[in-house]
Structure 1
Amino acid sequence: MISQKLLDKYNLPLPRYTSYPPATFFHENFNGHDFIEAIEESNHHQPEAVSLYLHIPFCSKLCFYCGCTTHISRNNDLYDQYIDALIKEIDLIAGRIDSSRPVTQVHWGGGTPNALNIDQVEKIMSAIYRHFKFSQHAEIAMECNPAYLSVQYIERLLKMGFNRISLGIQDFNEKILLTVNRDPSAMPVKDIIDQLHAAGASANLDFIYGLPYQTPDSFRDTIRHAVEAHPDRIVTFSYAHVPWVKSHQKTLEKNGIPGPEDKMQMFWNARQEMINAGYIPIGMDHFALPDDQLSIALSNKTLHRNFQGYCTKETTGQVYAFGMSAISQLHNAYAQNTKNIPHYIDAVNNGELPIEKGYKTDNTDIAVREVINQIMCNNYLNWNEIANRLNMTSQQLKSVTHFDVDRLQALADDGLVVFNKDEINVSESGRFLIRNIAALFDPKLNTGQKRFSKTI
């Protein structure tokens, strides 16, 4: 457990480092032509594998904690227009990706992907299968709101090839769900997991801590309930209060938002429950069973992450993203689609890529990304290993990350890391503050006027 003194010292607004540079550095000078060039170059970069991300922005109601790009609607005609545009966008891009490259990951995010009816989901998947070649062990995953799931819907997903479902539970306490405007699961969660496991598919349960009326004890009870359902992975996201970006989050303030000390106790209690039940801590917020691919990758120091979360090197591909607001994550560039649904549909229907902004990475960005990813994913850094992979010297790598041994020593003095001239290892307590440690290697951190959520 972290002391109050360290909580006060390190509870700072910092990037989450799901990308490097963070999305706050994307700019509007990057356009569709730049993206086409980046896609064609990406065929000659590693990883060779392809990851596909599909953004379904629709939700039937607004959860007050939400920080995602969503659109509240139950208009099925709008859904159909969006799906047609999504398929046209896939048609525009797929032909520029080398057809010999295998798809190793498909991820449906939102919004609420299962807001679509199952025939609409199948229409999109048919377009994907038409264009791409899949690896034998590809992961095909969907984020689902369990309030809108049925046995029949899950059966159809399984028949389409989905083999991982992430259930956005958030909390099992119905008072807390009511306060944040979220419906409880329509089926017992354990029944959903049992159905998936019987078909050979995997299940994730996602939770948020730091919501109104949550306490360390209540959140421990929620995680105990989760453990009893025996999912393959459990994710505990720290609620990010960013009302300057998402004004609806102000609604939560009237019921009181737990402070950093309570949030840390919630996380600590949940962590102990999961470890006691045999789950392995992964990165800063994931927990997986010992035989899960993430646990194995962590033990081998080959864990990776992208905008969709933690993954293995085998599953990871360059990410080609479709749908409004979706972010493609290539070796050499990031590209984000417009966040306006009518603009998105019109652009694609006119044969244009709906790019709103992006970022072209240079060699320094790529080197910094490698260092930060290794720290964030594997709690470990060997300067020589990464330098050799990038055809640099370790001294050059330290130089481009603006490495400062005195700042690292300050983290070591607080018990967050142990290091020598070649290696850095994050301590058990340091894992709670991994964003603070990663920020040490970010030369762009104090450039420009950027606002981030706090680390705790």
Structure 2
Amino acid sequence: MIQDLLQKYNVPVPRYTSYPPANYFTEAFANKEYESAIEASNTARPEHISFYVHIPFCRHLCHYCGCNSFPMMKRGVIERYFSALHREIELVKTRLAPGRKISQIHYGGGSPTSMPVYYLRELNEHLLAGFETIDQPEIAVECHPGYLDEESWQSLTEAGFNRFSLGVQDFNEKVLKTVNRRPSLLPAEMIFQILRSKGARINMDFIYGLPFQTAESFAETITRAAVLCPDRLVTFSYAHVPWVNKQQLILEKAGLPPSEEKSRMYESAKKLLSTAGYKTIGLDHFVRQDDELYTALKNGRLHRNFQGYCTRRTTGQVYAFGVTGISQLNTAYTQNSKDINQYMERIENDTFAVSKGYELSRDEQITREVIETLMCNYSLDWQEMAARFSLSAEEIKSATAYNDNRLNEFAADGLIEYDDNHIRMTSGGALFVRNVAASLDKLMLHSNKSFSKPV
């Protein structure tokens, strides 16, 4: 049965980490539009502030990576880049209403921890200055453990971070060598001891679908990870998009596992983590039972922004800093220039460095909420959704591409259960939630965009 479903539904669809996806952004949206969107964000919901800082530099570029990364540059360029980050932070902060609170700060890349820690500490101090935070804000950094010694981990815990995402990807060194990923410098057990002694929360990130991975080998990696008891564990499905990153063609030559084997990797990992007491969040996150993400899921209140899964308590409108950084405001998305020199020059002239963006229509704002709710909670209540917008359920449905015939087909294939007021993903259909979400997306009715496959 699963093979039949894979054959039918393993077709390219958006990942829906945002709606609309970033490949709908347009160059018609520029600095002036971003300034207006920031002003509008001060009276919109969510009212909290979420800061994202993009550190694009890597000591080595992994072949699988689809992120916006650059090889390490000379020290003068690094210092100029961080100076631009501070200037951009000031440009945004002066436009934010002073009564708002910071709920999240997240550093991504690239490899943020490829930088001297004092650079990150100074950025944290600047971001936090002049604004209060919510109780227990999340200040997170993505870490490449291949380059961090004991002193580096200690310094990171003293720089203001309280959540660390360890980019392990796989414990199998043959897999890591093939994808040009350096294994951890320290044993994972030692890293956990250092971070736990400081009260830090720990995520571990893994990728499945890489060359030389099998369901059995990936199960060995996940079993080892579960023994460490991270707070959260993520199993990302490798997205093969060589038109974005030509280096991925190297992995084609090495040999990518077929969809059926990828599905087995995911299912075996999910079973192992369930046995270890973890609860499934969305498609790829697993959390301990006492995690607030699981509480939010049980209450149908799980949320997501560009920082990842979050609760309504911690979510905020996202203001991004750095080259390629994407801001996610109530009415708009913006993305900074992908050219690092252009980014720095524009910021140094005290202007924003927006290269493209997207202003959402009212229907698109509604569709965003609908798709995000389904993707996060695996269920939709049309009446509850209507109450959020002070509209009728029929008006909410008409803003989307709601189609009874399409939903009947999903139901007949066992992917969903639905009636006039609800859509619920079945346990067997959860893997294809992206397909169901795409059926509610008007933009997909006539799309010529390229997307990855669900599995």
1:405 counterpart letter in structure 2: D
1:318 counterpart letter in structure 2: Q
Cα distance in 2 between the residues matched to 1:332 and 1:429:
35
State the partner residue of 2:34: 35
Matched position secondary structure for 2:444: coil
Shift in Å at residue 283 of structure 1? 0.2
State the partner residue of 1:137: 136
User: Does the CA-based 8 Å contact 2:121-2:160 persist in structure 1?
Assistant: no
Which structure 2 residues correspond to residues 389-428 of structure 1 after superposition, within 5 A? 389-428=388-427
Cα distance in 2 between the residues matched to 1:402 and 1:236:
30
2:205 is aligned with 1:206: yes
Shift in Å at residue 308 of structure 1? 2.1
Cα distance in 2 between the residues matched to 1:153 and 1:110:
18
Which structure 2 residues correspond to residues 260-279 of structure 1 after superposition, within 5 A? 260-279=259-278
Cα distance in 1 between the residues matched to 2:94 and 2:300:
35
Shift in Å at residue 23 of structure 1? 0.7
Q: Deviations over 1:216-267 (max 9, x none)?
A: 1000001001101110011000000001111110011111001110000000
Cα distance in 2 between the residues matched to 1:370 and 1:119:
38
Cα distance in 2 between the residues matched to 1:45 and 1:261:
44
Shift in Å at residue 60 of structure 1? 0.6
Which structure 2 residues correspond to residues 285-304 of structure 1 after superposition, within 5 A? 285-304=284-303
Structure 1: runs of 5 or more not aligned: none
1:48 counterpart letter in structure 2: E
User: Does the CA-based 8 Å contact 2:118-2:159 persist in structure 1?
Assistant: no
2:445 counterpart letter in structure 1: N
Cα distance in 2 between the residues matched to 1:50 and 1:322:
13
State the partner residue of 1:6: 5
User: Does the CA-based 8 Å contact 1:332-1:361 persist in structure 2?
Assistant: yes
State the partner residue of 2:228: 229
2:290 counterpart letter in structure 1: D
Q: Give aligned pairs, total.
A: 455
User: Does the CA-based 8 Å contact 2:48-2:100 persist in structure 1?
Assistant: yes
State the partner residue of 1:128: 127
Cα distance in 1 between the residues matched to 2:344 and 2:228:
40
State the partner residue of 1:20: 19
State the partner residue of 2:103: 104
User: Does the CA-based 8 Å contact 1:318-1:329 persist in structure 2?
Assistant: yes
1:98 counterpart letter in structure 2: A
Which structure 2 residues correspond to residues 340-379 of structure 1 after superposition, within 5 A? 340-379=339-378
Q: Deviations over 1:405-455 (max 9, x none)?
A: 111011111111111111111111111111111111101013342000111
State the partner residue of 1:328: 327
Cα distance in 1 between the residues matched to 2:444 and 2:192:
41
Q: Deviations over 1:360-411 (max 9, x none)?
A: 1111011001110110000110001011111111011111112111110111
Cα distance in 2 between the residues matched to 1:447 and 1:60:
41
User: Does the CA-based 8 Å contact 2:323-2:343 persist in structure 1?
Assistant: yes
Cα distance in 1 between the residues matched to 2:189 and 2:31:
45
Shift in Å at residue 120 of structure 1? 1.3
The verdict on how the C-alpha distance between 1:159 and 1:254 changes in structure 2, with shifts beyond 3 A counting, is: same
2:388 counterpart letter in structure 1: R
User: Does the CA-based 8 Å contact 1:303-1:311 persist in structure 2?
Assistant: yes
Shift in Å at residue 133 of structure 1? 2.4
Matched position secondary structure for 2:443: coil
Report the TM-score when normalising by structure 2.
Answer: 0.98
Matched position secondary structure for 1:444: helix
2:363 counterpart letter in structure 1: T
Cα distance in 2 between the residues matched to 1:104 and 1:156:
23
1:31 counterpart letter in structure 2: A
Structure 2: runs of 5 or more not aligned: none
Matched position secondary structure for 2:213: coil
Q: Deviations over 1:192-218 (max 9, x none)?
A: 122222211100000000000001100
State the partner residue of 2:49: 50
Taking only aligned residues, the RMSD between alpha carbons, in angstroms, comes to: 1.0
State the partner residue of 1:85: 84
Which structure 2 residues correspond to residues 234-245 of structure 1 after superposition, within 5 A? 234-245=233-244
1:153 counterpart letter in structure 2: S
Cα distance in 2 between the residues matched to 1:402 and 1:434:
15
User: Does the CA-based 8 Å contact 1:60-1:74 persist in structure 2?
Assistant: no
2:170 is aligned with 1:171: yes
State the partner residue of 1:67: 66
State the partner residue of 1:339: 338
Cα distance in 1 between the residues matched to 2:165 and 2:377:
23
Deviates more, 1:189-198 or 1:212-221: 189-198
User: Does the CA-based 8 Å contact 1:55-1:108 persist in structure 2?
Assistant: yes
Cα distance in 2 between the residues matched to 1:254 and 1:245:
17
Matched position secondary structure for 2:429: helix
1:231 counterpart letter in structure 2: P
Shift in Å at residue 295 of structure 1? 1.1
1:187 counterpart letter in structure 2: L
Shift in Å at residue 157 of structure 1? 2.2
State the partner residue of 2:184: 185
State the partner residue of 1:432: 431
Cα distance in 1 between the residues matched to 2:296 and 2:187:
31
User: Does the CA-based 8 Å contact 1:94-1:132 persist in structure 2?
Assistant: no
Report the TM-score when normalising by structure 1.
Answer: 0.98
Matched position secondary structure for 1:247: coil
State the partner residue of 1:215: 214
Q: Deviations over 1:51-92 (max 9, x none)?
A: 000000000111000000000114222211110000000011
Which structure 2 residues correspond to residues 308-327 of structure 1 after superposition, within 5 A? 308-327=307-326
Shift in Å at residue 136 of structure 1? 2.5
Cα distance in 2 between the residues matched to 1:266 and 1:63:
21
1:209 counterpart letter in structure 2: Y
Matched position secondary structure for 2:247: helix
Shift in Å at residue 6 of structure 1? 0.5
Cα distance in 2 between the residues matched to 1:218 and 1:286:
20
Runs of 4+ in 1 over 6 A off after TM superposition: none
Cα distance in 2 between the residues matched to 1:121 and 1:153:
12
